[in-house]
Amino acid sequence: MSKSKKSPAFQSPKGMHDVLPQNQLWWDKVRKETKDTAESYNFLRIDTPIVESAALFQRSIGEATDVVEKQMFVFDTKGGDKLTLRPEGTAAIVRAYIQHGLSHLGQPLKLYYDGPMFRYEQPQAGRFRQFNQVGFEIIGGEDDPIYDVQVILPLFRLLESLKIKKLTLHLNTIGCKVCRPNYRKKLQNYYKSKQKEICKDCQKRFAINPLRLLDCTNPICVEIKKGAPGILDDLCSYCQRHFKNFLEYIEELALPYELDPHLVRGLDYYSRTVFEIFTEADSLADPVSDKKQENNKDNRAFNFALASGGRYDYLFEMMGGRVTPAVGGALGVERVIEVMKGLKVNLLPRAKAKVFLINIGDLAKKKSLLLLEEFLKAGIRVTESLGKNSLSAQLRAADKEGVLLALILGQKEAFKESIIVRDMKSGAQEIVPLKKVVAEIKKRI
């Protein structure tokens, strides 16, 4: 009778996952393409702490949002400060911009970031309690819609560089302080007779922030939303012109897009342009386990949101700063990797070491450390198993690594300042002076 496998005493917290060595290739690819894309479009990197004041997000995101009401990890410090693990990147970057007086730098300031965010929500495919985002922000200058496009473009091109196809922009405007109040009233009039049908969260949103009624994913609310009025007919002349010019830039770039009159963002600080980037995917894989998800049970393609963002011209003022036009967007790394795996994107494996260093005896082991450093300085990757003492065990390890050459440094060779170079394919061996071995290996590989 077989014993059932005992669970480990400690496991990663629910909704937080380890990125194991076999998955690092995907993460390395995303990080590399992010850096290359950011530099190509002249974005400077910024890093903010993963812990911020809870009040920062309560004020900027909005106390009636799901993020603040339900999803923030809030805790008190020993000194009595109320802090939170950051749930998103934009507010923290605005805080850093104001705190460090970054307005003295050339404007607009183009910044990018990548790192972990934290939201307490039910884990599901591509969504975790600790998740990673890549974001691009353009701060300062004018509220010219060309900057909106210059945020969308690196996100779009980054996704393309990761071999994700069938990308489509979903675009809308949510107006400004001038025209949005009329639209809010229209929404409330539409939903007034439907208050008993919508979910409890939406019943609260009805009075506090009716725009967020359009952001609900409850199936009943989604169906009701289909008849809701759009904002385009209620835009002021400035917002009409802003959105028209924005769309002209998008069309000039020939980026595929759809107008979505019900697209809003779940955070209070957005104004005017809002966007999401979707991909049409046929299959998806879990970013942790590589298992195929059941999102596509009838084997049809479906839309999957990978990136989103918009303009936030009022956020600086909300946080005690000067009025500063700004626009930004971010993508979820786990979701992107999920789609890459589902699409079977081919990644080039890391270059393997071609040389294996074998040591036998204490003196050889000491000399091996310095020898490995010399190879490193020469730009030659050498793998080893210095903790093993057996020649046969180390040869087996070298064979398993699939190296071309094995360097054998025994006690005798260590005393004579020489080393054996063994061709792993033919088995041929020759003795080379220790001081010439780096140059010799350079010739052979």
Residue 413 structure tokens: 């060779």
| Strands 405-409 and 355-359, sheet pairing | parallel
Q: What is the 3-state secondary structure (H, E, C) of 9-20?
A: CCCCCCCCCCCC
CATH (residue range 21-179+231-342): 3.30.930.10
| 56-60, 188-192, 240-244, 333-337: least confident range | 56-60
The predicted pLDDT at position 72 comes to 86
Q: Using one digit for the tens of pLDDT, what is the confidence trace for 367-381?
A: 999 999 999 999 999
CB atoms within 10 A of CB 237: 9
The predicted pLDDT at position 124 comes to 66
In percent, how much of the chain has pLDDT > 90? Answer: 61
Distance from C-alpha of 95 to C-alpha of 365, rounded to nearest angstrom: 53
Report residue 438 CA to chain centroid gap: 40
Q: Using one digit for the tens of pLDDT, what is the confidence trace for 402-429?
A: 999 999 999 999 999 999 999 999 999 9
Where does 41-99 have alpha helices with state H?
54-60, 66, 90-99
Q: Using one digit for the tens of pLDDT, what is the confidence trace for 116-157?
A: 999 987 766 657 899 999 999 999 988 999 999 999 999 999
The predicted pLDDT at position 120 comes to 87
pTM score, whole prediction = 0.84
pLDDT, mean of residues 288-309:
57
The predicted pLDDT at position 302 comes to 47
Higher pLDDT, 367 or 2: 367
pLDDT, mean of residues 326-335:
95
The predicted pLDDT at position 286 comes to 47
The residues near 126 (Cβ < 8 Å, ≥ 6 apart) are 284, 287, 332, 334, 335, 338
The predicted pLDDT at position 40 comes to 95
Domains 21-179+231-342 and 355-444 share a fold: no
The burial class, CB within 10 Å (0-12 / 13-18 / 19+), for 315 is: buried
pLDDT, mean of residues 180-192:
90
Higher pLDDT, 376 or 295: 376
One DSSP character per residue, 296-357 reads: TTT---EEEEEEEEEE-TTHHHHTTS----EEEEEEEHHHHHHHHHHTT---PPPPPPSEEE
Whether the pLDDT of residue 168 is over 50: the answer is yes
Q: What is the chain's mean pLDDT, rounded?
A: 88
The predicted pLDDT at position 2 comes to 53
**Are the CB atoms for 175 and 271 separated by under 8 Å?**
yes
The predicted pLDDT at position 290 comes to 46
Q: Which among 266, 223, 268 is positioned nearest to 60, based on CA atoms?
A: 268
| 132-141, 204-213, 314-323: least confident range | 204-213
Q: Which among 262, 182, 180 is positioned nearest to 217, based on CA atoms?
A: 262
Whether the pLDDT of residue 285 is over 90: the answer is no
Q: How confident is the model at residue 356 (pLDDT cuts 50, 70, 90)?
A: very high
Whether the pLDDT of residue 292 is over 50: the answer is no
**Are the CB atoms for 183 and 231 separated by under 8 Å?**
yes
The predicted pLDDT at position 216 comes to 85
Q: Using one digit for the tens of pLDDT, what is the confidence trace for 28-69?
A: 999 999 999 999 999 999 999 999 999 988 887 765 566 776
Report residue 365 CA to chain centroid gap: 42
Domain ranges (residues) in the chain: 21-179+231-342, 355-444
Handedness of CA 61, 67, 70, 75 (dihedral sign): negative
pLDDT, mean of residues 330-336:
94
Q: What is the 3-state secondary structure (H, E, C) of 252-307?
A: HCCCCEEECCCCCCCCCCCEEEEEEEEEEECCCECCCCCCECCCCCCCCCEEEEEE
The predicted pLDDT at position 301 comes to 41
The residues near 333 (Cβ < 8 Å, ≥ 6 apart) are 27, 30, 114, 131, 132, 133, 134
| 1-10, 191-200, 253-262: least confident range | 1-10
CATH of 355-444, one of 3.30.2010.10, 3.40.50.280, 3.40.50.800, 1.25.50.10: 3.40.50.800
The predicted pLDDT at position 125 comes to 61
